[in-house]
Amino acid sequence: MLNTSTSVIGRYERDEMTPPIDVTKKIAKLLDTTVGYLLGETEQENVFKNSEMLKRFNEIESMNEEDRNHILYTLDALIKNVKLKAL
């Protein structure tokens, strides 16, 4: 994954050492977050990293409440279905 020893990772965690940018990118990817969040530049942990997801989210946001609720209900059902299949 990181190709880094546990002692070096421990030093990152204790702020004794700063990881290089390529390692920081790998850590962000492993934690499913952004480099900006890891660096404290943003408070949002789950910023959309996929422009298509952001586009869809914005489309849903612009809909009336009833339509949004239908879409969210359907999404919840699909997500649960995927999680059940993974068991």
Give a yes or no: residue 15 inside a domain.
yes
Q: Which domain holds residue 61?
A: 51-86
pLDDT one-digit tens code per residue, 9-35:
888 888 899 999 998 888 888 887 788
Output the pLDDT for position 46: 57
**Domain presence at residue 45:** no
30 plus 57 within the same structural domain: no
Whole-prediction pTM value?
Answer: 0.48
Cα–Cα dist 43/36, whole Å:
9
Helix runs in the chain, H state only: 6-13, 21-30, 35-38, 51-61, 65-86
Convert the pLDDT of each residue in 65-75 to its tens digit: 999 999 999 99
> Is the pLDDT score of 84 beyond 80?
yes
- pLDDT tens for 31-59 read 877 888 888 887 765 556 677 887 888 89
82 lies in some domain = yes
